[in-house]
Amino acid sequence: MNKKKIYFYVVFCGKKSRMLKNIFLDRFIENKIFKEM
């Protein structure tokens, strides 16, 4: 039970942080393109 909980938590946090990183990168790229226009 405990191991499963920890595993789920790690996977969930990993997915969330990856999503946040992707959103940050998308914003950064959009801002760069917007400034170049």
Domain residue extents for the chain: 1-37
Percent of the chain with pLDDT strictly greater than 90: 38
Instruction: Measure CA 14 to chain center.
Output: 8
- Which tokens belong to 22? 């992707």
Instruction: Measure CA 21 to chain center.
Output: 4
What pLDDT is recorded for position 28?
Answer: 94
Q: What totals of helices (H) and strands (E) does the chain contain, helices first?
A: 1, 0
31 falls in which pLDDT band (50, 70, 90)? very high
